[in-house]
Amino acid sequence: MDLSIKGTNFLGYLPSQKGTQTFSTFSCRYQKSNEEVFHQITESELEIALEKASAASEKYALAPIEKRRNFLREIIALLEEHRTLLVQQFSKESSLSEDRGNVELARTQAQIQTYLDFISRKDWNLLHSQELNGVSFEKRLCPIGPVVVFGASNFPFAYSTVGGDVASALAAGNPVIYKANPFHAGLSEMVAGIVLQAAENNDLPDGVFSLVQGNDYWIGETLLKDERVKAVGFTGSVRGGEALLNYAKERKTPIPVFCEMGSLNPVFIFKDAFEGRTKEMVEKLSSAIKNDGGQFCTKPGLLFIEERGSEMFINAMRDEFTSAAAVPLLHPSIYNSFLKLSSVFDRFPVYRVEATAPEYSVYPQLTEMTAKEFSAFPAAKEEVFGPFSIIVKCADESEMKACFETIGGHLAASVWTDQSLSEEWMYLLSSRVGRIIKNGVSTGVAVIDSMHHGGNFPSTSDSRFTAVGKDAIYRFLQPVTLQNFKS
Amino acid sequence: MDLSIKGTNFLGYLPSQKGTQTFSTFSCRYQKSNEEVFHQITESELEIALEKASAASEKYALAPIEKRRNFLREIIALLEEHRTLLVQQFSKESSLSEDRGNVELARTQAQIQTYLDFISRKDWNLLHSQELNGVSFEKRLCPIGPVVVFGASNFPFAYSTVGGDVASALAAGNPVIYKANPFHAGLSEMVAGIVLQAAENNDLPDGVFSLVQGNDYWIGETLLKDERVKAVGFTGSVRGGEALLNYAKERKTPIPVFCEMGSLNPVFIFKDAFEGRTKEMVEKLSSAIKNDGGQFCTKPGLLFIEERGSEMFINAMRDEFTSAAAVPLLHPSIYNSFLKLSSVFDRFPVYRVEATAPEYSVYPQLTEMTAKEFSAFPAAKEEVFGPFSIIVKCADESEMKACFETIGGHLAASVWTDQSLSEEWMYLLSSRVGRIIKNGVSTGVAVIDSMHHGGNFPSTSDSRFTAVGKDAIYRFLQPVTLQNFKS
């Protein structure tokens, strides 16, 4: 199949580029716009995508499940077949390395496989079944209807065109309208072509998948307010997520809008950890903050430490940052935002290479402050997306706790200690954070059933659901009980 | 223990009645106010209840699970011990019979037992557990935090003070602030006394349960907007539910607000059913519409029938209604609403006893119209709460389908036929309705794991959750993954 980029939307199977408003992607690495030109969707094109998704709901839900499985299977295979081209485009539009692209593509395939495996189980959609006084009861999961997914800038494969949200929604039996992240519009078009090819190979209905290109707010607003849309998945900033949540408030019919937003992923280092784990902590934490420009939702953004005995750790961390190479960020707006947000910390000790980075690249930065300073400095409680973290020096455990109580919910938190954690700590963390890691870092989210990639607001909009692992499919399914259907 | 009614709120264990605004309950059966006087909560009292619930969260979550289990066990036993007094008060405030009170109390005990059984299972809160590359992962369910529950007028036991919502929230480990339905304030106080006695017997923290009395809107508004509240359960009208959902939109932090609201519970009678099932249908449907004044969320409100061959059915149904005794409704506002909403159908054939019912009582009423009339008459698509239903005469299946497509989501739908239902019908129903019953009625919701008591808007605010059965507890739990905690 031909994966050359035409700059188009897909309204179901129909390529369409009627819009006169165009945009391009950008390479922060090479400091220039990429050559492809994309046509932002028009209102009438978006209406067609919505109508097709709505019309496809019944047909897709009723298509033999083997077709749905084969659809996912072929997507995995086609991604593999076109790996080289896809990874090149990934790198070109994100300035992330091809190595990272290969790893992320494999992860994306593993995610699709997770949902494929789940819907390949016998009676996968049967929750409970029993008989009462001669009457049968079966509680089964059904598709929820058309799902709109907004792609993330920082995972051009894994949380984008056929990433976790799209794959789980499709596996559940829902048509998907995918709103591409404009910063990797080309890769989105290529992957959309693959999804549509796999759909066509399995005679799936027109509208089972659509690709929407653009970067204007009205697109999200229209999608969120449309009554044909039955659920939404979003991965991005707090600001972006809250905008969508606010649009949804104006709907006549409430629907689930799952937004994965900002997270500080606090780290708590207890004093005993400095005795045997300093080297390990420095390696793992500095990598987690710096790798791939620290552009992960699970990047450790706050390191609360018991100050006593932390000198070696602090010095080694400083060394890691004062020698760290500059890294191109994903796109200019993340770059500009990083410069703006990180610069407000100049009043504190800052550790980074003191040189001018190439435009659109930045030097990883470590900041230090005391617990008291942290409490008095609101900017320290907001996510700085990119290679940035803050060491907060605390007198003792209770000061760490007090600091934590002033920040919201998070996707993850790490604790470094060889002692067992008190019940109070476990309660405090588990009531605010979706995953607690002992002696490890929060980056590198395993795609397994036991993963919970969620957390209290603002890290997500509903702490009961996950965006990673098998359980993510439950966001897009609704139960029905069939009573007295077995004779 | 003393269950005499003092007209009080409970702020945790503390009885409090500082409010000068008072109200009474009313007996529609005896057409008079009951003698007890209740003090509406004040703003400062409500603040105490909120603060206590928030403070109790950690203590209750960390209390040994055996105490939580014993708490529920003792509630069941105390309800049994005081059955006679409770059922008398139930009947006095709701005008429902004592027989119904006894049945509903047993159901309420069974519901509590369901959650008790669930949290008595080994590892009940463990969703998944596995090891990956030597690192352990455990995904566990945790309490979500203080839950506010609004009681239903039509289930003074089963969806009230320690009904399904409260019992599931408490079993999950959450403190509960219970806002009593003002129409059975006395029974609420009695049952609250029982819950608090059981809590005290198990040394549970002050604030694990509070009772809020009153009938002003500011109470709901304050509770919904308070950041200490982490989830809400409501059972009542669409108007009431939407008011709460709107308050919640103004929160800084979004929380799950599960509202079970209005439902028409359509019935579809296919022509083959008239051949062998007429007698059964007439008995079951007329009972479901009339019994206990038809004041059930699952009352069949619309009977779509294939007209050919339906004469015997229609005549027998008319007979059931033209001979049905008057029944007192739950309270004056439901009575007034019934008179107002049912009277707009006077332009259609109406079947009921033609006499003047005692004040606050009504005669069950059956209305008939054609599919065409149904389409043109918006009032037919709104719930008339009480002993009222509409027969909609359709030419064929496709006309039934077309009618259904114009009404929203529902808790349940029944189909009467001995043929198997087409995939199109199954899709149509399961995408809009939480439970589909074949050759049976929607009333009498079994408390079993396979029950789904939910449905698309406006029947509930989130079609993914149920208000009945074990799974109702998932509304009030959030997962956390513990990574690398097993050494």
- Sign of the CA dihedral running A243, A245, A250, A256: positive
Tokens of B220: 């709901």
CB-CB under 8 Å, B62 with A427: yes
For all residues of chain A together, what is the average pLDDT? Answer: 97
CA atoms of A9 and A211, how far apart (whole Å)? 5
What pairing do the DSSP bridges indicate for beta strands B477-483 and B435-438? unpaired
**Residues in chain B closer than 8 A to A144 (CB atoms):** 463-464
Residue among B408, B430, B481 whose CB faces A435 most closely: B481
Residue of B66, B72, B87, B8 lying closest to B41 (CA atoms): B8
ipTM over 0.90: yes
Task: Given the residues A45, A104, A260, A383, select the one marked as catalytic.
Answer: A260
CB-CB under 8 Å, B483 with A435: yes
What are the distances in angstroms from CA B359 to CA A478, B29, B31, B362? 43, 9, 7, 8
Tokens of A112: 């699709």
Task: Given the residues A297, A307, A320, A403, select the one marked as catalytic.
Answer: A297
**Please, which residues have CB within 8 angstroms of residue B366's CB and are 6 or more apart in sequence?**
B289, B317, B318, B320, B321, B350, B351, B352, B388, B389, B390, B391
pLDDT higher than 90, residue B20: yes
CB-CB under 8 Å, A483 with B440: yes
**Residues in chain A closer than 8 A to B277 (CB atoms):** none
CA atoms of A298 and A306, how far apart (whole Å)? 22
pLDDT band at B245 (very low <50, low <70, confident <90, very high): very high
CA-based nearest residue in chain A for residue B246? A249
Percentage of residues in chain A having pLDDT higher than 90: 99
CB-CB under 8 Å, B437 with A484: yes
- Interface check for A61 against chain B (CB to CB < 8 A): the answer is yes
CA atoms of A408 and A40, how far apart (whole Å)? 36
Q: What is the pLDDT of residues B40-62, one digit of tens each?
A: 999 999 999 999 999 999 999 99
Mean pLDDT of A376-393: 97
**Please, which residues have CB within 8 angstroms of residue A168's CB and are 6 or more apart in sequence?**
A115, A472, A473, A475, A476
CB-CB under 8 Å, A130 with B449: yes
Mutation target to probe the B interface, by most B beta carbons within 10 A, among A144, A277, A427, A464 is A464
CA atoms of B424 and B437, how far apart (whole Å)? 16
- Sign of the CA dihedral running B287, B290, B294, B300: positive
A297 is a catalytic site residue: yes
Residue of B419, B219, B198 lying closest to B306 (CA atoms): B419
pLDDT higher than 90, residue B487: no
Mean pLDDT of B333-340: 97
Cα distance from A300 to chain B (closest Cα, Å)? 15
Please state, as a whole number, how many other Cβ atoms lie within 10 Å of the Cβ of residue A165.
31
Report the pLDDT value the prediction gives residue B13, as an integer from 0 to 100. 98
CB-CB under 8 Å, B424 with A62: yes
Tokens of B478: 């959030």
Rg (CA), chain B: 23
- Work out the widest C-alpha separation in chain A, in whole angstroms: 79
CB-CB under 8 Å, A436 with B485: yes
Please state, as a whole number, how many other Cβ atoms lie within 10 Å of the Cβ of residue A337.
15
Alpha helix (H) ranges present in B249-350? Answer: 273-276, 278-290, 311-322, 332-343
End-to-end CA distance of chain A: 49
Give bridge partners of residue B433 from the DSSP assignment. Answer: B410, B455
Q: What DSSP state is assigned to residue A349? A: -
- Interface check for B440 against chain A (CB to CB < 8 A): the answer is yes
Tokens of B442: 């929607």
Mutation target to probe the A interface, by most A beta carbons within 10 A, among B439, B478, B487 is B478
CB-CB under 8 Å, A142 with B480: no
Report the pLDDT value the prediction gives residue A313, as an integer from 0 to 100. 98
pLDDT higher than 90, residue A374: yes
CA atoms of B333 and B329, how far apart (whole Å)? 9
pLDDT band at A8 (very low <50, low <70, confident <90, very high): very high
CB-CB under 8 Å, B57 with A452: no
Residue of B443, B401, B441 lying closest to B423 (CA atoms): B401
What are the distances in angstroms from CA A396 to CA A279, A282, A304, A392? 22, 20, 10, 11
CA atoms of A407 and A416, how far apart (whole Å)? 19
- Work out the widest C-alpha separation in chain B, in whole angstroms: 79
A:B CB pairs within 8 Å: 179
Residue at B346: amino acid letter:
D
List, as ranges, residues 445-464 from A with C-beta within 8 Å of B. 446, 448-452, 454, 456-458, 461-464
Q: What is the pLDDT of residues A27-37, one digit of tens each?
A: 999 999 999 99
pLDDT higher than 90, residue A479: yes
Rg (CA), chain A: 23
If DSSP codes are grouped into helix, strand and coil, which group holds residue A423? helix
pLDDT higher than 80, residue A487: no
B259 is a catalytic site residue: no
Contact B473, B115 (CB under 8 A): yes
Contact A295, A386 (CB under 8 A): yes
Q: What is the pLDDT of residues B97-108, one digit of tens each?
A: 999 999 999 999
- Interface check for B137 against chain A (CB to CB < 8 A): the answer is yes
**Residues in chain B closer than 8 A to A446 (CB atoms):** 132, 137
Mean pLDDT of B244-265: 97
Domains of chain A: 9-261+463-483 (3.40.605.10), 267-438 (3.40.309.10)
pLDDT band at B220 (very low <50, low <70, confident <90, very high): very high
Contact A192, A82 (CB under 8 A): no
Contact B282, B273 (CB under 8 A): no
Report the pLDDT value the prediction gives residue A18, as an integer from 0 to 100. 97
